[in-house]
Amino acid sequence: MAEPIAPESGKEARGYEQSDASAGPLAKVAIALAVSLVCIFVGILVLFKVFSYVQPRLFDREPHPLAQTRQPASGTRLQLDPPQLKIDMLATENEVLTTYDWVDREQGLVRIPIDRAISILAKSGRLPQKADSTEVEQ
């Protein structure tokens, strides 16, 4: 811990610095800081001017011969709304599985609902039957 300063010449010690900081060094630091900020700002402006002059010249060159062989992606490759896409897919699948429609009108092929197809196959006996679960395989 700091020891209290002994009283000098009859005055009591105050416990803090009794003189102010010199204004000269503080002013020099403030001026140096302001000059540095102005120099940095001017340097950044010059750098951006150089970049704006050089950048078009970099891209005016003839393209690389292999640059034309790349296939650009057609459209977005991200799913913008995955939950809605899943809902749409399930609705499409449900429509295909539960409605009648022509597959090929010339050949007379139709699509029937899956429940109807299962019942037709079950009545005709062409639907595979499950083995009885109580029977033990040998």
What residues have CB less than 8 Å from 114, skipping those under 6 apart? 97, 98
What values do phi and psi take at 93, rounded to 5? Answer: -60, -40
63 against 109, higher pLDDT? 109
Task: Give the pLDDT band of residue 10 (cuts 50, 70, 90).
Answer: low
Question: Which helix (H) or strand (E) element contains residue 33?
Answer: helix 23-59
pLDDT of the residue at 138: 47
**Diameter over CA atoms, the chain:** 124
| Model confidence at 33: pLDDT above 90 | yes
Residue 11, SS3?
strand
CB burial of residue 113 (10 Å; 0-12, 13-18, 19+)? middle
CB atoms within 10 A of CB 117: 13
